[in-house]
């Protein structure tokens, strides 16, 4: 018979080997994690919605789309706006997100339940979004015909020429679905973790709202793609595409 005293001794000796207990007052993970959560909504999510709405102008034709790009690229302090509200938050959210993924141990094999699948899907849609957005930003913002500083008239044709490849369209569809899902479920997670939707019913109801948001965004995204794809070559001004 082991005495209670000896079992207490083994416990205190072994606790160093397992998962560490809570480290009160140590580290910055609380601020960094909450900032990660918030940055996904504001400014990234807000920009995402603006971006989807602006791009849907493509369904109205070349001129409407180029005018929208003209409006956005001629905003005052546009370079400050894009670095402070788009590039830096995206870099932070993406890189810290990879770190969050590294720290979690997905276990849907053992526990194949809805919440656990959503947990895993948030990581997979996150990495797809990371790769897609990296490509999208480099291709559209930094390579080829420049749309900033008066280049707005080339906006529609720049996208249109890209969409001549079915592979690019496929990649955009995957990117739009992943980003929309990641954002909508991120809003749900934000509400749950920040204590806005506390009860089970509230979280379930808000789940329907977020699912509708995801479907709406995917719908707008795909509709926008058709705006480019269905525009005949004759309506698209030729642009030197290097």
Partner 1 sequence: MANSKSVILKIKRQQTPESKPYWEEFELSYRPGMNVTSALMDIAANPVTRQGKPTTPVTYDSNCLEEICGSCAMIINGQAKMACSALIANLKQPITLEPFTKFPIIRDLAVDRSVLFENLKRVKAWVPVDGTYDLGSGPRQSSEMQEEAYPLSNCISCCCCMEACPQFNDKTGFVGAATIAQVRLFNSHPTGSALKTERLKVLMGDGGIQECGYAQNCVEVCPKELPLTKSIAAVGGQVMWQAVKDLFRT
150 φ/ψ sector (left φ>0, alpha ψ -120 to 50, else beta): left
Rounded to the nearest 10°, the torsion over CA 147, 152, 158, 163 is 120
Q: Residue with structure tokens 């072994």? A: 14
Q: Nearest distance from residue 118's CB to partner 1, in Å?
A: 8
Spell out the residues 6+ positions from residue 164 whose beta carbon is closer than 8 angstroms to its own: none
Smallest distance, partner 1 to C-beta of residue 88, A: 21
**Toward partner 1, which CB reaches closer, 120 or 153?**
120
Q: Could you tell me which residues come within 8 angstroms of residue 198 by beta carbon, excluding any fewer than 6 positions away?
A: none
Residues that bind partner 1 (CB under 8 A): 10-12, 14-15, 17-27, 29-30, 33-34, 100, 102-107, 110-111, 113-116, 118-120, 122, 189, 192-200, 203
* 23 or 76: CB nearest partner 1: 23
DSSP state of 17: T
Instruction: Give the whole-angstrom CA distance, residue 184 versus residue 205.
Output: 14
Which lies closer to partner 1 via its Cβ, residue 5 or residue 23? 23
Nearer to partner 1, 143 or 198 (CB): 198
Least distance (Å) from partner 1 to the CB of residue 141?
32
Return the ∠ at Cα 74 (arms to 73 and 79), rounded to 5°.
Answer: 65
Could you tell me the smallest distance in angstroms from the CB atom of residue 34 to partner 1?
6
Task: Give 22 or 77: the residue with its C-beta nearer to partner 1.
Answer: 22
Question: Residue 21 gets which letter from DSSP?
Answer: P
CB of 69 to partner 1, least distance (A): 38
């Amino acid at each position: 018979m082991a005495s209670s005293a000896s079992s207490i001794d083994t416990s205190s000796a072994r606790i160093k080997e397992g998962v560490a207990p809570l480290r009160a007052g140590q580290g910055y993970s609380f601020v960094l994690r909450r900032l990660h959560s918030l940055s996904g909504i504001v400014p990234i999510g807000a920009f995402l919605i603006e971006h989807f709405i602006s791009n849907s102008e493509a369904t109205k034709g070349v001129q409407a789309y180029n005018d929208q790009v003209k409006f956005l690229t001629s905003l005052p302090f546009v370079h400050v706006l894009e670095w402070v509200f788009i590039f830096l938050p995206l870099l932070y959210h993406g890189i810290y997100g990879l770190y969050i993924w590294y720290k979690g141990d997905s276990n849907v094999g053992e526990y194949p339940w809805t919440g656990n699948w959503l947990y895993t899907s948030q990581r997979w849609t996150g990495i797809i979004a990371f790769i897609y957005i990296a490509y999208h930003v480099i291709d559209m913002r930094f390579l080829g015909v420049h749309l900033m500083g008066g280049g707005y008239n080339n906006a529609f044709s720049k996208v249109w020429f890209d969409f001549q490849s079915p592979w690019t369209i496929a990649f955009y569809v995957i990117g739009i679905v992943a980003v929309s899902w990641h954002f909508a479920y991120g809003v749900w997670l934000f509400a749950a973790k920040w204590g806005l939707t506390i009860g089970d019913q509230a979280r379930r109801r808000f789940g329907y709202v977020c699912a509708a948001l995801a479907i709406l965004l995917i719908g707008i995204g795909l509709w926008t793609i058709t705006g480019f794809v269905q525009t005949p070559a004759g309506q698209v001004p030729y642009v030197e595409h290097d």
